[in-house]
Amino acid sequence: MKKKAALLLTSTGISNLGDWIYFIPLNMMVYSMTGSAAAVAGLYMIRPLAGMMTSFWAGSLIDRYSQRNLMMGLDLIRAILVLLLLAAPSLPVIYALVFFICMADAFYDPAAAAYTVRLIPSQDRQVFNSYKSLAWSGSFILGPALAGLLFMTGRPEIAFFANALSFVLSALLLFRLPYLGSGEQTSQKRISLSVLAEDWRMVMGYMKSARYVMAVYLLFNGLMMMAAALDSQEVVFSREVLKLSDSAYGLLVSVSGVGLLIGSFVNRLAVKKLNPSLLIGCGGLMIAGGYLIYSLSSTFLWAAAGFFILAFFMAFANTGIWTFYQNHVPADIMGRVGSALGMVISLIQVIFIFGIGFSSDLFPLRSVIFAGAGFMMILSSLLFIAVLKPSIRPLGLITKNTKA
- Asked if residue 186 has pLDDT above 50, the reply is no
**400 pLDDT above the threshold of 70:** no
Confidence band (pLDDT; 50, 70, 90) for 372?
Answer: very high
| pLDDT, tens only, 40-66 | 777 877 888 888 888 778 788 888 888
Please tell me the predicted confidence (pLDDT) of residue 404. 39
Q: State the average pLDDT over residues 325-330.
A: 87
In the prediction, which pLDDT does 145 show? 66
Residue 320 has pLDDT above 60, yes or no: yes
Average pLDDT in the 311-330 region? 89
| 247 burial level (CB within 10 Å; 0-12, 13-18, 19+) | exposed
Q: Model confidence at 189, in pLDDT bands (50, 70, 90)?
A: low
Residue 398 has pLDDT above 70, yes or no: no
What is residue 42's predicted lDDT score, i.e. its pLDDT?
79
Three-point CA angle 152, 158, 163, nearest 5°: 120
* pLDDT band at residue 345 using 50, 70 and 90 as cut-offs: confident
- What confidence score (pLDDT) does residue 330 get? 85
Q: What is the pLDDT of residue 144?
A: 67
**For 116-121, what is the mean pLDDT?**
86
pLDDT tens for 68-113 read: 999 999 999 999 999 999 888 888 999 999 999 999 988 888 888 8
pLDDT confidence tier of residue 226, bands split at 50, 70 and 90: very high
Annotated domain spans of the chain: 1-178, 190-404
Closest by Cα among 307, 313, 311, 278 to 292? 307
pTM of the model: 0.78
For the ranges 47-61, 156-170, 183-197, which has the lowest average pLDDT?
A: 183-197
Residue 286 near residue 266 (C-beta atoms within 8 A): no
Architecture per CATH, 1-178: Up-down Bundle (1.20)
- The hierarchical CATH code for the domain 190-404 is 1.20.1250.20
